[in-house]
Amino acid sequence: MGFKIAVVGATGNVGREMLSILAERAFPADEVVALASRRSQGSEVSFGDRTLKTKTLDTYDFSDVDICLMSAGGEVSKEWSPKIAAQGAVVIDNSSAWRYDADVPLVVPEVNAEALRDMKKGIIANPNCSTAQLVVALKPLHDRATIKRVVVATYQSVSGAGKDGMDELDRQTKALYSLQDVQEKKFPKRIAFNLIPQIDVFMEDGYTKEEWKMVAETKKMLDPKIKLTATCVRVPVFIGHSEAVNVEFENPISADEARDILRSSPGIMVVDKREPGGYITPHEAAGEDATYISRIREDITVENGLSFWCVSDNLRKGAALNAVQIAEAMANRGLLKPKKQAA
């Protein structure tokens, strides 16, 4: 007997990807419901070879729903996730609303699936897209040599800012090619043929909220003792986040050893040939499930240091895929059973 799943925010970038991945991975669902705001009511979204008509969130009865995949933003999640959980559904939320709540597990299944057993509010949080791929790469290295400090610079695609971000890059690029004025709406500066060293708002210490998220989430999921500093940059790429990562370890670890460890770790593909093109770019990672690691090398400026390049599809592992993998992990561990079966 399969589960009943509701996808909230089904018309957005991540919501559509959630539906696609549920179908691709043949998640054991007897029924899938697409939910969105009133203004999107009745619009159609794809689910495998079928089309679903969206229903409105604020009038929907969740009493027979087993799993709710929530991707409608923080404000909607703060209001609706507790209400949905109170009706007995497990909410897997993609926003930042619940990530830092001590009673809400923040989970990447390859890293800390055991935290799923600590669910107290009926809500599980998905990490920030840039953090998800980073901790997948760091976890097996931390297990082997214990990480002291991480320095990461991100190169984040515009799809991380939603459909509006993708539309702005598309619109600005066309305007520049046709010698028209470029309009800036979604981003604080022009994104076409440019880089913007700001993602989310600035905080008092000079870091942005995105950079703070990477610090807080890595500590919560991996190890509170890890020191991490991040610089997050928006780049004119449609899909796929890239990260230049420098890691300092407590114990010795060579580049060859790290390469072998990463190759045998879940969710990771190592593409690391020391030749032109012997690495992964966001173009190749788009539409793929893996977190790709390239350019693994020893950092000779510190004792026990490594640097590497990390790329992943931010709409998949950074959001939709991770949410579906959380649901799979709960089902596989017997933490979740269909309400119909329980009845």
Residues flagged as binding site for substrate: 156, 234
- Burial-class residue 89 by CB neighbours within 10 Å (0-12, 13-18, 19+): buried
**Active site (annotated) includes residue 129:** yes
Question: φ and ψ at 175, to 5 degrees?
Answer: -65, -40
DSSP 12-80: SHHHHHHHHHHHHTT--EEEEEEEE-GGGTT-EEEETTEEEE-EEGGG---TT-SEEEE-S-HHHHHHH
Which of 129, 142, 232, 310 is catalytic? The answer is 129
Q: Of these residues, 68, 142, 232, 241, which one is catalytic?
A: 241
C-alpha of 314 from chain center: 6
| Residue 241 annotated in active site | yes
List the binding residues. Answer: 11-14, 39-40, 99, 156, 159-160, 234, 314
Q: Which residues, other chains included, contact 106 with Cβ-Cβ below 8 Å and sequence gap of 6+? A: 99, 100, 115, 124, 125, 126, 127, 217, 220, 221
Q: How far is CA 102 from the centre of its chain?
A: 20
C-alpha to C-alpha distance for 129 and 318, rounded to whole angstroms: 4
Active-site residue list: 129, 241
